Amino acid sequence: MKYIESKNNAIFKKIKKLLSKTKSRKDTRSFLVEGIKEIKICLKAKYNFIEIFICSEILSKEDFEFLKKNSTNICITNLSKNLYDQLSYKEKGEGLLALIKSKDFVLDNLILPKNPFILVTESPEKPGNIGAILRTADAAGIDAVIIANPKTELFNPNIIRSSLGSVFTSQIATGSTNEVIKFLINNKIKIYSTFIKNSVDFTSIDYKGSCAIIVGAESSSLTKEWASKSTELIKIPMKGKMDSLNLSVSAAIVIFEALKQRNAN
């Protein structure tokens, strides 16, 4: 097993860039994942592993035995604790990182059931919000999450951390707003878009068939294309002085109302 302790090592400098540089992740089509739970999720989701990095000073014997059993064809490199700490993005590192090949998030690759339930979010920017949305979608059993006009790269370490690994378990696709609208219409999926004006109470909608809930960024709301192409415009009634909720909160409110209807006998 190779051991690295110098910060000037070419491999270390390369993987360190993946944590802070979106361009590095895009150019190499790879990203880093930390922790045994997330690595197990990636293995189950059939992601391709390039290399595994451990810190033998921290890594538990149980996790090391799991790695040896499940990564027989993957190179394992041992990092000094000093180098590992520079790469760790968790509050308490487990001594385990994996370099993984990225996947493409293509609309046409989505596999949808007979009556799909889809969440679309347009131009979300904050990684924490994206991660929270993915966790909510996973909890609700959403069939697919589509990101229109993405502003943040999905293998950003903050998204991986805040999603608790659900970025790997969810069906995700990205595209321009027009591409996403065309995809939904072509697949006969009703479009329920959240707008403040000229909209109806979200609880008055029938969500039992094929449908997509569309939510926009807190700062800009949805673009006008959604207003003309939607089946219905919906809103969450507000009693306070503010006219918007956190993106992930508003998505969750509508999603679980729809889920209640869809699960009703």
pLDDT value for 116: 97
The last residue of one of the domains, among 101, 129, 163, is 101
List the Cα angle 61/64/67 in 5-degree steps: 155
Below-50 pLDDT ranges, the chain: none
Residue 21's domain is classified under what CATH number? 3.30.1330.30
Shared-domain flag, residues 234 and 117? yes
Residue 113's domain is classified under what CATH number? 3.40.1280.10
Shared-domain flag, residues 33 and 129? no
Shared-domain flag, residues 96 and 127? no
Shared-domain flag, residues 250 and 123? yes
The answer to whether the beta carbons of residues 147 and 118 sit under 8 Å apart is no
Structural domain boundaries, residue 87 = 2-101
What pTM, to 2 d.p., does this model score? 0.90
Shared-domain flag, residues 36 and 163? no
The last residue of one of the domains, among 79, 101, 123, is 101
DSSP assignment of 179-244: HHHHHHHHTT-EEEEE-SSS-EEGGGS--SSSEEEEEEBTTTB--HHHHHH-SEEEE----SS---
Shared-domain flag, residues 190 and 253? yes
The answer to whether the beta carbons of residues 232 and 205 sit under 8 Å apart is yes
Tell me the three state secondary structure of residue 24: helix
Shared-domain flag, residues 134 and 48? no
Give the H/E segment covering residue 50: strand 49-54
The last residue of one of the domains, among 101, 127, 153, is 101
Shared-domain flag, residues 73 and 146? no
Shared-domain flag, residues 12 and 117? no
The answer to whether the beta carbons of residues 131 and 157 sit under 8 Å apart is no
Shared-domain flag, residues 154 and 86? no
pLDDT value for 265: 61
Shared-domain flag, residues 54 and 113? no
Shared-domain flag, residues 130 and 209? yes
pLDDT value for 219: 60
| Count: domains in the chain | 2
